[in-house]
Amino acid sequence: MVEQLSEKFICLINQNLGIAYKVTGIYFHDADERADGLQEMMYQLWKAFPTFDGRARFSTWMYRVCLNTALTYKRKSATWKSEPLSPNHYQIADNPPGNQEELIALLRNAIAHLSELNKAIVLLYLEEMSYDEIALVTGLTRSNVSVRLVRIKRELEMHVKQQI
């Protein structure tokens, strides 16, 4: 029985491992923090797996566990500190970004300035989850998700324009 549970868990995790990497990439900026956060997520997923009842898709359930773990880990982590601004933060770009890598970097930087909950909403939105699925993962209502996404899009747009 335990062996079957272990095999099922490993199979599902392997199929959805990208979720944990995406969450750690959004919430942890340092490679060591990402590794520690990923390890904590795997532990929490394993611990919570017996309670997975299949009412939601596994990926939706996994997002919820990973996001909650990232938020809890960041709150409890005594080693987490904000990064000081580097001299590059004060420079004005000569030209607007032209290639896709630069645009992605601008978007990542803008997302990094969002609140923890708004980061989660953006991540799930970029994963093309429906508003109902985002609401299920975050614990918000569908209408609250809709309102927040409108505000988040405006905030991201303003932040990116300031960087250009």
| pLDDT confidence tier of residue 29, bands split at 50, 70 and 90 | confident
pLDDT in tens, 36-69: 999 999 999 999 999 998 888 999 999 999 999 9
Residue 12: per-residue pLDDT: 93
| pLDDT confidence tier of residue 81, bands split at 50, 70 and 90 | low
CB-CB contact of 144 with 114 (8 Å): no
The structural domains of the chain, ordered by start, are: 1-80 (1.10.1740.10), 95-164 (1.10.10.10)
Whole-model pTM: value is 0.65
* DSSP structural state of residue 141: -
User: What type of residue sits at position 5?
Assistant: L
